[in-house]
Structure 1
Amino acid sequence: MVPSPDIPKVQKAVVVDKFGDDFKVKVVDDYPVPEPGQGEVLVRLTSSGVCHSDLAVAKNYLGQNATTKILGHEGSGYIVKHGEGVDAERHPIGEKVGVPLISGACHDCENCEHDEVYCKNNKGFYGSYIDGTWQQYIIVRANMIVRVPEGADTTIVGPILCGGVTVYKALKRAGLTAGSWVVITGAGGGLGSLAIQYATAMGLRPIAIDTGADKEKLVKKLGAEVFVDFAKDNIIEKINEVTGGGAHGAIMIAPVVQVYSMSVAYVRNHGTIVCVGLPKAGQKMEFEPAAFIFKALKLVGTLVGNRQDCREALDFMARGKVTPAVEKHKMEDIQEILNRMQAGDLPGRAVIDLE
């Protein structure tokens, strides 16, 4: 049996000092370490990703008014303490685990029977309504834990459990078969770079939309067959020409309504457009119903993958098929990371070291 490590009373954490367009974050070293309750475990986080939705929460971009000052939802680490009622053999001290976006589900409603992500009794998202993963210790419900595959690099687990599983689920929702063309917008960013890899591993033919030589180099290295520079190319013409009539599907990662609206012109008959990126609250897509009627298009949405999707997404990583392109940083770098993300100057994914 692995002995429980010494657990301090306080910890380092990154907190939001000011929400809004002029958001500010800072590092504190006296944030209380939480105590696990019934059915919960305490996890010592070793790293956490920084997601575009963290930026959205800091800016209150989506109008959700966060109820926590600790953001982040891409954490990984190991169990250090059990709450009452936790099966210690099933969840041993020292076990490497990942933290999912959804903090808890009832496992008893109609939604949970199909996909607990949409549970009507959802306990809240980490980093929006519950203290997130930009801290050294976090509470996780034992029945929501995601186990990390043996030998996996925990540094890259966090990005897989949010960005990775999100785009993996989106590709599954697209219902494409091997050899199909799939457009990925925002392809050079954190989610997009993962979507390129998952699409390639699933036998699809990715078309990457982004801008700049650095991002073109990145996405082609990751498996993109075609790069479309939205600042230089005629997006619709190039995609239709390369594919001989349009892509079979499109994964809309860039959170821009104009990008969504354009997709109907480069997706072929019977194609599927999957909504992933969240534009600013109140913005609306503009589509003519005729485009969907005469082309038999499908428009579907997806939030994030469930625990089974997480297992599958991690399996791709464990087999070396998907590796997040990460930049490693200290906790003190998060303000700079978010500023770069806002400027579109962050290829791949940023991960902070919490040790």
Structure 2
Amino acid sequence: MLACQIVKYNEPHQIRRIPTPKPQDLGPHDLLLKVAVASLCHSDLEYLSGNLYNKLPVTASHEGTGVVIAKGSAVTKFQIGDRIMAGQTYGRCGDCDNCNGEESYRHYCPNKGSAMSVERNGAFQEYLVTDAREACRIPEGMSFLTAAPLACAGVTVWRGVLLADLNPGQWIGIVGSGGGLGHLGIQFAKAKGLKVLGIDARDDGIELSKEAGADFVLDARKGKDEVAREALRITGGKGVAATINVSDAKSAASTACAITRMHGTVIQVALPPEVSIPFSEYIFRDIRVRGSFICSPKEAEEMLQLVVKHDIKVQSNIFHGIHEIPKVVDMLSKGQYRGKGVIVIDEEGAGRVSKL
């Protein structure tokens, strides 16, 4: 089958022919998908650089959707023909404290297998093996084009909104609000009745933040101190109740703390090599900084239903065919499009809006 793989760090992705997964080789909890649509995540650039310790060669993309064409012997939740949003994690043990603990902890299982695009091939290929226990059925009426970016960008920023644990009417800040995660986070927060203060450092990011529905948008290029003063003014002198940082800019985490009220929470989602925060931004005001990964499959299903109910839009740039992917990666690295880069792998399959 055709695949787009990372073969060497810091070199362009390569289009290659690799073995097609065989139904007879599936594990008991596996699904075999014919990939319909996959999309590019900003963290794919980290995989390309080697910062996330992936084993090469490996097929890129951890945002995949497709149709079930075969399943393992233990799979009862899904049927042949179901439309699926693949999960990133694979092979949780089911026995550890995380697997048997809080819903939002389960994907932190220390005994799980490799994630997509790390040692296990990702979705930039024609057929994909995924774990049925981590997958979600795509709701009726939702296209593959909408679902694919939600497989990482959506589930990641959605967990940030959940961890903020705010009540309707409270203020939430989003640093990096005009990016692929940020513009979804704005819409998720608004759907939960929150007021949103967006912060971005690019003209198109500021514009997209406004289009996504942020109540106010501040320009990070004015500097942390000015942004913090404006945030205090907007929120009646208190600051936002919680902030999600989805920007890997060096000063982003510090800015996130600066706009957050005393005793508030900053949720660090972005993956810079280091997170740097001056002690004065969090110690003296008791700001709690919490790291966050993706959400659980149950939480992801809730997110998908929210997207349908509130008609949440993904800002997408649509490309067609696996051969286009190296170009899309280069465009992302140069900031040449806003929102998400979405690649149609199977033209016929991508047109199916509801399941068979």
Q: CA deviation at 1:262?
A: 2.8
Task: Tell me what 1:172 maps to.
Answer: 162
Task: Tell me what 2:232 maps to.
Answer: 240
Q: Are residues 1:50 and 2:40 paired?
A: yes
Task: Tell me what 1:78 maps to.
Answer: 67
Task: Tell me what 1:346 maps to.
Answer: 337
Q: How does 1:285-324 map to 2 (within 5 A)?
A: 285-288=276-279, 291-324=281-314
CA distance in 1, matches of 2:138, 2:330: 31
Structure 1 runs of 4+ with >6 Å offset: none
Q: CA deviation at 1:16?
A: 1.8
Instruction: Please list every run of 5 or more consecutive structure 1 residues that lacks an aligned counterpart in the other structure.
Output: 1-10
Q: Are residues 1:24 and 2:12 paired?
A: yes
In terms of mean alpha carbon deviation, does 117-126 or 204-213 score higher?
204-213
Q: Give the residue type in structure 1 aligned to 2:285.
A: K
Q: Alignment partner of 2:26: what SS?
A: coil
Q: CA deviation at 1:77?
A: 0.8
CA distance in 1, matches of 2:133, 2:285: 43
Q: Give the residue type in structure 2 aligned to 1:13.
A: A
1:282-302 deviation digits (Å, cap 9, x = unpaired): x242332x6545423221111
1:216-243 deviation digits (Å, cap 9, x = unpaired): 2221111111111122463222212212
What is the RMSD of the two structures over their aligned residues, measured on CA atoms?
1.8
Task: Tell me what 1:334 maps to.
Answer: 325
Q: CA deviation at 1:53?
A: 1.0
Q: Give the residue type in structure 2 aligned to 1:337.
A: V
Q: CA deviation at 1:211?
A: 2.9
Cα gap change, 1:118 to 1:43, in 2 (>3 Å): same
Q: Are residues 1:275 and 2:275 paired?
A: no
Q: Are residues 1:69 and 2:67 paired?
A: no
Contact 1:189–1:346 (Cα < 8 Å) also in 2? no
Q: Alignment partner of 1:309: what SS?
A: helix
Q: CA deviation at 1:85?
A: 4.0
Q: CA deviation at 1:106?
A: 1.3
Structure 1 vs Structure 2: percent identity of aligned residues? Answer: 28
* TM-score, scaled relative to structure 1: 0.89
CA distance in 2, matches of 1:152, 1:173: 26
Contact 2:242–2:265 (Cα < 8 Å) also in 1? yes
CA distance in 1, matches of 2:309, 2:143: 12
Q: Are residues 1:187 and 2:174 paired?
A: no
Contact 2:164–2:242 (Cα < 8 Å) also in 1? yes
CA distance in 2, matches of 1:319, 1:292: 37
Q: CA deviation at 1:65?
A: 3.6
* TM-score, scaled relative to structure 2: 0.89
Q: Of the candidates 245, 253, 266, which is equivalent to residue 252 of structure 1?
A: 245
Aligned residues: 336
